Chain A
Amino acid sequence: MPRVFSFLSYLLLLVVMGVALFATFLIAPAERVQGDVYRLLFVHVPSAWLAFLAFGIVAIGSALYLIRRSPRWDRLAVASAEAGVLFTTLALATGSIWGRHVWGVWWQWDPRLTTTLVMWFIYAGYLALRAYIDEPESKRRMSAVAGIVGIFSVPLVWFSVEWWRSLHPTPSVTSPGGGLPRDMLLTLLLCVAAFTVLYGIVVRQRMLLEQASSLASDLTERLHAQQERSE
Chain B
Amino acid sequence: MSKYQPADLATLPKDSAKTPALTASQLTVRRGHRDVIRNVTFKVQPGERIAIIGSNGSGKTTLLRTIAGLLRPRTGNVHINGVPATSSDSGIRRTVGFLGHHPHLYPYLTARENLQIHARLFGVQNPALRIDTTLSTVGLAASADRPVREFSRGMQQRLGLGTAMLHSPSVLLLDEPDAGLDPEAIENLPQIISKLCPHSAVIFSTHDERVVAALADQVGKVTQGEVSIPKQYIQQTDPSPAREWPDQTGFLAATTTLIGKDVRTEWRAREQVPTLLIFTLLIALVFDMAFIAIVETEAAAVATGLLWTSVLLAATLGGTKLFAAEQERGTLDGLLLAPIDPSSIYVAKFFVLSIETFLVGALQLGFVSLLLNVPLLQGATIGALALSTTAISAVITLHSSLIINARAREILMPLLSIPIAIPVVLAGVGATLGTLEVTPAAQQWPWFGLLAITTAVFLSVGILLYPYTTK
Chain A residues with CB under 8 Å of chain B are 66, 118, 121-122, 124-125, 128-129, 132-138, 141-142, 144-146, 148-149, 152-153, 156, 214, 217-218, 220-222, 224-225, 228-229
Question: Do A144 and B468 touch across chains, with their CB atoms under 8 A apart?
Answer: yes
Give Cα A229–Cα B38 distance, bound, in whole angstroms.
14
Asked if B419 and A118 make an inter-chain contact with CB atoms under 8 angstroms apart, the answer reads: yes
A-B contact count (CB 8 A): 88
30 pairs across A/B with beta carbons < 8 Å?
A: A118-B419, A125-B416, A125-B419, A128-B411, A128-B415, A128-B416, A129-B406, A132-B406, A132-B411, A133-B406, A135-B31, A135-B32, A141-B469, A142-B402, A142-B406, A142-B469, A144-B468, A145-B401, A145-B402, A145-B465, A145-B468, A145-B469, A148-B461, A149-B398, A149-B458, A153-B419, A156-B423, A217-B33, A222-B34, A225-B224
Is A152 touching B457 in the complex (CB atoms < 8 A)? yes
Interchain nearest-CB distance for B443 vs A (Å): 13
Known: A128-B416, A135-B405, A145-B469. 12 other contacts (CB 8 A): A66-B468, A121-B415, A128-B415, A132-B408, A132-B409, A132-B411, A141-B469, A149-B458, A149-B461, A221-B33, A224-B34, A229-B224
Docked-complex contact B34 and A221, CB < 8 angstroms: yes
Docked Cα-Cα span, A221 to B458, in Å, equals 39
Taking CB atoms and an 8 Å cut-off, the chain B residues in 249-282 that contact chain A are none
Query: CB distance B468 to A133 under 8 Å?
Result: no
Which of B34, B224, B415, B457 is the one whose CB lies under 8 Å from A125? Answer: B415
A119 nearest in chain B by CB position: B419
B-side contacts of A146, CB under 8 Å: 399, 402, 416
**Cβ contacts under 8 Å, A134 to chain B:** 405, 407
Which residue of the partner chain B has the closest CB to A224? B34
Contact between A133 and B224 (Cβ–Cβ < 8 Å)?
no
B419: nearest residue on chain A (CB-CB)? A121
Nearest chain-A residue to B402 (Cβ)?
A142
Which residues of B397-437 have CB atoms within 8 Å of chain A's CB atoms? 398-399, 401-403, 405-409, 411-412, 415-416, 418-420, 422-423
A91 to B351, CA, bound (A): 39
Give A122 to B417 CA distance when docked, in angstroms: 8
A126 CA to B435 CA, complexed, in Å? 36
| A220 neighbours in B (Cβ, 8 Å) | 33
Question: How many Å lie between the Cα of A145 and that of B323 in the bound state?
Answer: 16
Flag if B407 contacts A137 (CB, 8 Å). no
Does B469 lie within 8 Å of A133, measured CB to CB? no
Cβ-defined partner of B422 (8 Å) among A118, A144, A224: A118
Does the CB pair A129–B423 fall under 8 Å? Answer: no
Q: Taking the complex as formed, is B30 at the interface, i.e. its CB lies under 8 A from any CB of chain A?
A: yes
In the complex, the chain B residue whose C-beta lies closest to that of A136 is B32
Closest 7 CB pairs of A and B: A121-B419, A221-B34, A217-B33, A132-B406, A221-B33, A125-B416, A142-B402
Interface centre among A66, A125, A136, A214 (most CB of B within 10 A): A125
Shortest CB distance B349–A (Å): 15
Nearest B residue to A229 via CB reads B224
The answer for the CA separation of A204 and B469 in the assembled complex, in Å, is: 27
Contact yes or no, B224 A137, CB < 8 A: no
Nearest residue, chain B, Cβ from A117: B419
- In this complex, what residue of A is CB-closest to B461? A149
State in angstroms the CA–CA spacing of A63 and B415 once bound together.
22
The minimal Cβ–Cβ distance linking B414 to chain A, given in whole angstroms, is: 9
- Bound together, the chains give a CA A224 to CA B34 distance in angstroms of 10
Best-surrounded residue of A121, A217, A220, A228 (most CB of chain B within 10 A): A121
* A121-B419, A228-B224 as given contacts; A129 in contact with B412, CB under 8 Å: yes
Cα distance, A118 to B424, chains bound together (Å): 13
Contact between A218 and B33 (Cβ–Cβ < 8 Å)?
yes
Nearest CB of A to B73, in Å: 11
Chain B residues with Cβ below 8 Å from A141 are: 468-469
Alpha-carbon gap, A121 to B421, bound state (A):
12
> A213 to chain B: closest CB distance in Å?
10
What are the residues of chain B within 8 A of A156 when measuring CB–CB?
Answer: 423
Cross-chain contact B405 with A122 (CB below 8 angstroms): no
In the complex formed, the residue of B with least CB distance to A144 is B468
CB B250 to nearest CB in A, in angstroms, measures: 26
Chain A nearest Cβ from B261, distance in angstroms: 25
Given A135-B32, A142-B402, A152-B457: A129 in contact with B416 (beta carbons within 8 A):
yes
Task: State how many angstroms separate the Cβ of B141 from the closest Cβ of chain A.
Answer: 41
Among B401, B407, B419, B457, contact of A132 (Cβ-Cβ < 8 Å): B407
